[in-house]
Amino acid sequence: MTELLMPVRLSDSIIDALAARYTLHKLWEAPDEQAFLKEVAPRVNVIITAGSILAGGKTFIVDGAVMARFPALKLIANHGVGYDTVDAKWAAAHRVMVTNTPDVLTEETADTGFGLVLNTVRQFPAAERWLRGGHWAANGPFQLTATLRDKTLGILGLGRIGKAIARRGEAFGLKIAYCGRTKQDGVDYAYYSSPRELAAACDILMVAAPGGADTKNLVDAQVLDALGPEGFLINIARGSLVDEPALLDALRERRIAGAGLDVFAREPHVPSEFLSLDNVVLLPHVGSATYATRAAMVKLLLDNVDAYATGRKVLTPVAECLLVG
């Protein structure tokens, strides 16, 4: 019998579907979590996790020390593309498969990213507040804004989502440049080998790289200074990629023109300083938050668990686990 552990509550649709198929252990309901884990750990085959599991601000990190507590563990099924809360390298080395839910949320997240570009550069949310506050009639037209004309969109992380954002940028007439670990074959966009070089070459810097220890604070004060006082930062990846104190300083001091953020370092806790700034657009991590996309993500997560439980190959192993069988 396949037994699953869900450390932190996810959506009712995931819980109901898994509970109908398997024995599902709900750690968040346990009055004594450590005693509960000690009791169920020998039987757990699958951990259900997410790129950023958050319930009341709580994050559950599935690192080597956690996985070592589960001798029967064979699969970590991650709800989301990002799996930075899982030590996938440790898992692969110990023949534990890790899956995620790529592709099904690419277009929605890219829509959100480009929506932030428009709203940040053209200041549409502030313009709406101007109208709603009665200022149009009382004080005249809203202020003039920056433009997308003749601008370059630099994409930090040209993966599935980065490429989808690039297609949207091209449709708006933007020049596209990118930065990644290596130059990609078959990609005609201008390539820069470091975030700082990319920032210096673009007007809008879009952060679309994976999270995790390797990319923590990848966008630091030097990158922001390279972006410059007419540049905009957009982040739809993970809050950990941006040095938040450095970003706050750059926004306050107008060393960059503005920022559009869907993600933060300590979600759902957003530094109060952001709320007082008029040159930042803030969203509560809604990149893929549509009914259709979340249903597709749930289905893919369930399909991966079902594949493991019936002895078939999982559908979407993460890169580190491609050779695990």
Is the pLDDT at 54 greater than 80? The verdict is: no
Residue 76 token pair = 């970590």
Is the pLDDT at 57 greater than 60? The verdict is: no
Rounded average pLDDT over 4-11: 92
Is the pLDDT at 243 greater than 50? The verdict is: yes
Residue 325 banded pLDDT, cuts 50, 70, 90: low
- What CATH number belongs to 106-282? 3.40.50.720
Biggest CA–CA distance in the chain, Å, is 69
Predicted confidence at residue 56, as pLDDT, reads 45
Rounded average pLDDT over 1-26: 94
Query: Which of these ranges, 222-226, 278-282, 319-323, has the smallest mean pLDDT?
Result: 319-323
Predicted confidence at residue 78, as pLDDT, reads 95
- The class level of CATH for 3-104+291-321 reads alpha beta
Q: What single letter denotes the amino acid at residue 135?
A: H
State pTM to two decimals: 0.92
Predicted confidence (pLDDT) per residue in 88-127, tens digit:
999 999 999 999 999 999 999 999 999 999 999 999 999 9
3-state secondary structure the chain: CCEEEECCCCCHHHHHHHHHHCEEEEHHHCCCHHHHHHHHHHHCCEEEEECCCCECCECCCECHHHHCCCCCCCEEEEECCCCCCECHHHHHHCCCEEECCCCCCHHHHHHHHHHHHHHHHHCHHHHHHHHHCCHHHHHCCCCCCCCCCCCEEEEECCCHHHHHHHHHHHHCCCEEEEECCCCCCCCCCEEECCHHHHHHHCCEEEECCCCCHHHCCCECHHHHHHHCCCCEEEECCCHHHECHHHHHHHHHCCCCCEEEECCCCECCECCHHHHCCCCEEECCCCCCCCHHHHHHHHHHHHHHHHHHHCCCCCCCECHHHCCCC
As a whole number, the mean pLDDT across the chain is: 95
Predicted confidence (pLDDT) per residue in 194-209, tens digit:
999 999 999 999 999 9
CA distance 108 to 213: 26
CA distance 152 to 190: 10
Is the pLDDT at 190 greater than 60? The verdict is: yes
Rounded average pLDDT over 236-255: 97
Q: What single letter denotes the amino acid at residue 149?
A: R
Is the pLDDT at 68 greater than 70? The verdict is: yes
Predicted confidence (pLDDT) per residue in 286-299, tens digit:
999 999 999 999 99
CA distance 234 to 207: 6
Is the pLDDT at 258 greater than 60? The verdict is: yes
Whose tokens are 């130059």? That residue is: 183
Residue 191 token pair = 């390539």
Which residues are catalytic, by number?
A: 238, 267, 285
Residue 52 banded pLDDT, cuts 50, 70, 90: low
Domains of the chain, residue spans: 3-104+291-321, 106-282
Is the pLDDT at 55 greater than 50? The verdict is: no
Do 3-104+291-321 and 106-282 come out as alike in CATH topology?
yes
Predicted confidence at residue 322, as pLDDT, reads 82
Rounded average pLDDT over 261-279: 95
Angle between helices 106-122 and 124-132 (to 10 degrees): 60
194 CB-side CA count, 13 A? 9
Predicted confidence at residue 58, as pLDDT, reads 60
